[in-house]
A and B are shown apart, each in its own frame.
Chain A
Amino acid sequence: MECLIRFSQSHETFRLPEIQALAVVEGIELKVVSYSVESPFCVVRLPSEDAARRLVRRSVLVQSIHEVWGSGTTLDAVHATVVEQTAHLWGRYMTCSFKFTIDSYQRSRSNEDKVRIINSFAYLGFAGPIKMRNPDQEFTLFEDWPFNSTPLGLADPKSYYLGRYLATGARDLPQKLDLKKRRYISTTSMDAELALVTANIALAAPGKLMYDPFVGTGSFPIACAQFGALAFGSDIDGRSIRGDEKKKTLHGNFEQYGLLSELGGVFTADLTNSPIRKMPLGTSGDGVRGRLFDGIICDPPYGVREGLRVLGVRDPEKSPWVIPKGIEMYKQPDFIPPKKPYGFLAMLDDILQFSAQTLVDNGRLSFWIPTANDEDQEIEVPTHPYLEIVAVCTQVFSKWSRRLITYRRIPDAEVDQEAMKARVENTTFLGRTADELNPFRRAYFTGFEA
């Protein structure tokens, strides 16, 4: 059946990837008939009404989904298609309560116009009571107007659709997890709406294992847990996980939302010296072969506020006391191991390699990175022969933007081994100071001056 998805007109580049990921999660065959980032209306083909409901029930960017009854570039054209395609259905809705609504994008209609348009559908012959609140059926005439249609004197929108309401998306879900009401957050906590979208694109679902190696205060595990997955996390900063007081901890956040049973475990660790077991990458396997996670989702440090550091000493010659002190003191419970700056690009490469080794077949890696460096050059989307890019979505701020990149772990047998050999030979990342290692950092602190 043909359905119309009414999206929120926000985070436009995330909308299709989210809905396509949800089709995978729910096992639904989804065909996109028409979509544009400039419009909130997307026409899709789905196998059934039930599939339509399941498709949107966890979608953060979908307002609602409707069964298409007619479409066209004029009202007459719409009426013609409605009569042709749905006359055989009208009998079903003869006596139930109903209501008509007009949803005009980038235009407003006067009340007289609205009434006139609604009355033009009188041929449907519905005899039931009109109920404005919670009717049995709701019909909406969607109007997709181009920008500035009024000064341009346009009489009709680009297109009209008549839809019968099927289901609502999950746009109220971000309110439940809103950072403003969360017990424990920090400057790096990802906002609830995008954390949930990320969890959807990473295919979080009941029975799955998800991991965030830069967990901070837990925004991504919380989003994954909300969708029923079992979530794990780690961070090099133990204080971030432990928090300040009794309730102001990562654990306390899960407790606040009633998601404690979905918290698998969090620990303090450095991704480049990870305690997670992993095997060398192979060329054949049963789809698992020592691999653990269904999804890895994170927002790695860009090298700005939180500083990109890993375990180790930056310059053993300049500070020769550090290593012997470590040997002497490391077994003390309050010992804080030294850390050194590390390159952003090197870290991204480590994340890709780690994910290739620990994701099961068709598992997903989703992470956020800034779009450009200090010279306004696009930071290339990193690649790895074992990971196929699924989606690149962009969130635009006033002076910079960042991207959510999602990969799929390809089965061993499908990997290009020549590319793998070339990769092993070519990976070197130079630089030692924080500025050299982190192309984004310089720009951020100089205010993105051209």
Chain B
Amino acid sequence: MKVLTLNFLTCAVKTCKASSDSFPLHPKDAELVHDDLEINPQLLVNVLPRLDWTALRTTSTELGFPELPEQPPSAETLEADEAMLKELHNLLVETQMMEGKLVCGHCGHEYAVREGIANFLLPSHLV
């Protein structure tokens, strides 16, 4: 799944939702894959206000990408900034996590990712 998806995923355990540590999930032993895709500025501008930028910075660093600026660009700035568009495109759209684990920073639960598909099913004692 594309790295963009990671910005949408938290720990599924209901009691973790109250804690801010449950988001973002932390990739562990992640195997990444890169696809060469045509850049879609319209998608990036559309997605920008929905991103949790702080979480994205964390995820980006944890996956070994160059650090993102502290503040997100505005829509107008982003549209004109070719370099930033390329950077976000590369990180969010062209990079996929294929294998590894996603770990909750609050309860430590590890969600497995296999063949690009993450498993968020919980045993009954966590539901």
A residues sitting closer than 8 Å to B (CB atoms) are 206-209, 230, 232, 234, 236, 238, 241-242, 251, 260-261, 264-270, 273-277, 286-288, 290-292, 294, 311-313, 316, 322-323, 326-327, 329-331, 333, 335, 337-338, 360
Contacts and interface: CB of A to CB of B under 8 A. Distances in A.
A242 B117 contact: yes
Contact of A311 (B52, B110, B121): B121
Contacts of A277: 8-10, 23, 52
Given A209-B46, A265-B116, A276-B10, 7 more contacts: A209-B50, A261-B38, A268-B120, A275-B12, A275-B120, A292-B8, A333-B112
Nearest to A206: B42
A44 to B, nearest CB: 28
A265 B46 contact: no
Interface string B92-120: 00001000000000000011101111111
B83 interface: no
Nearest to A329: B123
The bracket for how many chain B residues form the interface is 35 or more
B127 A360 contact: no
18 contacts: A207-B45, A209-B46, A230-B4, A232-B5, A232-B8, A242-B117, A264-B2, A264-B4, A266-B117, A267-B119, A267-B120, A268-B117, A268-B120, A269-B12, A290-B52, A326-B125, A330-B123, A333-B114
Given A273-B14, A292-B8, A265 B127 contact: no
Contacts of B115: 242
B63 to A, nearest CB: 15
B50 A292 contact: yes
A327 B125 contact: yes
**Chain B interface helix/strand/loop/mixed:** mixed
Q: Which 7 A-B pairs have the closest CB atoms?
A: A265-B1, A326-B123, A265-B5, A330-B123, A207-B42, A269-B120, A267-B118
Given A208-B46, A312-B127, A323-B125, A238 B35 contact: no
A268 B121 contact: yes
Contacts of A230: 4, 43
Interface string B23-56: 1000000000001011010110111011010000
Contacts of B112: 333
Contacts of B46: 207-209, 294
Contacts of B10: 275-277
A266 B126 CA distance: 22
Given A206-B42, A264-B5, A266-B117, A273 B123 contact: no
Q: Which of B13, B35, B119, B123 has the most chain A CB atoms inside 10 A of its CB?
A: B123
B23 A338 contact: no
A261 B125 CA distance: 38
Interface of B: 1-2, 4-5, 8-14, 23, 35, 37-38, 40, 42-43, 45-47, 49-50, 52, 96, 110-112, 114-127
Nearest to B12: A275
Q: Which of A232, A264, A322, A338 has the most chain B CB atoms inside 10 A of its CB?
A: A264
B11 A275 contact: yes
Contacts of A287: 49
B79 to A, nearest CB: 12
Contact of A267 (B11, B117, B123, B125): B117
A275 B9 contact: yes
Contacts of A326: 123-125
Contact of A265 (B2, B13, B40): B2
A275 B1 CA distance: 14
B117 A337 contact: no
B40 to A, nearest CB: 7
Nearest to B104: A275
A263 to B, nearest CB: 8
B58 to A, nearest CB: 14
A273 B50 contact: no
B1 A323 contact: no
Contacts of A274: 12, 120
B121 A312 contact: no
Nearest to B25: A275
Contacts of B52: 277, 290
A273 B12 contact: yes
Contacts of A327: 123, 125
Contacts of B123: 323, 326-327, 329-330, 335, 337-338
